[in-house]
């Protein structure tokens, strides 16, 4: 299934292919503050509909995740990184997807502070 998403103002827009089986709520220092609900997909399943340069990047801690955000409205629609096997992945903020019933998505909690 293809999903469309964007930041609040629309300067960052994308499509992502896949089935959302669950969302991940992380309590690390950035995810807790952002309130993101993450869905991890292979990076190739994320297609940007706006120029990549429209997003700013924030990198911290171990510098393995590129947190993408809109410099205009401040929303964090996705992040990029690699999985434990070295494959490129995207972490989609499910809250930035259109027409999603958030109540129907099971949420798994991840203790990112323990790392």
**Cβ-contact 23, 106 below 8 angstroms:** yes
Distance CA 32, CA 89 (A): 20
Query: pLDDT by residue (tens digit) across 20-61?
Result: 999 999 998 888 999 999 999 999 999 999 999 999 999 988
Delineate the domains of the chain, giving CATH numbers in brackets. 2-114 (2.170.150.70)
User: Average of pLDDT values for 88-98?
Assistant: 98
Cα–Cα distance, 67 to 52 (Å, whole number): 13
Confirm whether pTM is higher than 0.75.
Answer: yes
The token duo for 22 is 């669950």
- Asked if residue 81 lies in contact with residue 91, where contact means CB atoms within 8 angstroms, the answer is yes
Mean pLDDT in residue range 87-110? 96
Nearest to 93 by CA among 32, 6, 30, 27: 6
Tokens representing 34 are 């952002």
CB-neighbour burial class of residue 97 (10 A; exposed 0-12, middle 13-18, buried 19+): buried
Calpha distance 12→5 (Å, rounded) = 8
């Amino acid at each position: 299934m293809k999903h469309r998403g964007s930041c609040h103002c629309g300067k960052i827009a994308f499509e992502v292919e896949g089935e959302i089986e669950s969302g991940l709520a992380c309590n690390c220092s950035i995810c807790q503050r952002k309130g993101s609900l993450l869905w991890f997909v292979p990076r190739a399943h994320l297609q940007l509909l706006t120029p990549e340069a429209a997003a700013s990047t924030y990198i911290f801690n171990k510098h393995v995740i590129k947190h993408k955000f809109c410099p205009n409205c401040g929303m964090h629609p996705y992040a990029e990184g690699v999985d434990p096997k070295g494959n490129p992945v995207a972490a989609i903020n499910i809250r930035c997807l259109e027409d999603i019933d958030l109540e129907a998505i099971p949420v798994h909690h991840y203790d990112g502070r323990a790392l």
